[in-house]
Amino acid sequence: MTPAAFEPRGKRPPPDRWPWLRLWSIRHARGLERLYEGFERALIAMRPMFERIGFARLERPVAALESAMKGALFDCRMCGQCVLSSTGMSCPMNCPKNLRNGPCGGVRGDGNCEVYPAMPCVWVQAYEGSRRMEGGDKIAHVQPPIDHRLKGASSWLQVARGAP
Ligand code: SF4
């Protein structure tokens, strides 16, 4: 599996075509948080079944499904270590600088990105989404450095495996 296979077309969204579904997801962060909590419990409960089938065998189809669903909803970049529930349902990998612990110092006065002036800053959106969530204070947790070996892997299967 090549990580690039799961990269949405066009590495970065053109600044004049901000994906509206991404904004919808942030506006509905609380509902998505509830949905994900249930989904996470289901994934953990399904672990014995996944083990019987084999995680390696499941990786490719599950990653493809995850990429399609989360690509549409969050513009997911398949980093393999999902932190959406800590970032107000705003995917930090859409930050052109890939910052996972808050915004850079270049956020514009209107809340838009320094690199793409027409794009709302991913972290401004993350903060707004987090205020709608019950567990929104997790946004203050420090995220560990990203493990690039997991790029392209399914974070759903990571959850089922019991990875932190
Ligand atoms: S944090 Fe990673 S897995 Fe989660 S939506 Fe963003 S790129 Fe995808």
Centroid of ligand 1 to alpha carbon of 76 (angstroms): 5
CA 80 to CA 39: how far, in whole Å?
Answer: 17
Residue 17's pLDDT band, with cuts at 50, 70 and 90, is: low
For ligand 1, atom 5, which residue shows the shortest CA distance?
A: 76
The pLDDT of residue 157 is above 60: yes
Name all residues whose Cβ lies below 6 A of ligand 1. Answer: 70, 74, 76-79, 82-84, 91-93, 155
- Burial class from Cβ neighbours inside 10 Å (0-12, 13-18, 19+) for residue 49 reads exposed
pTM score = 0.87
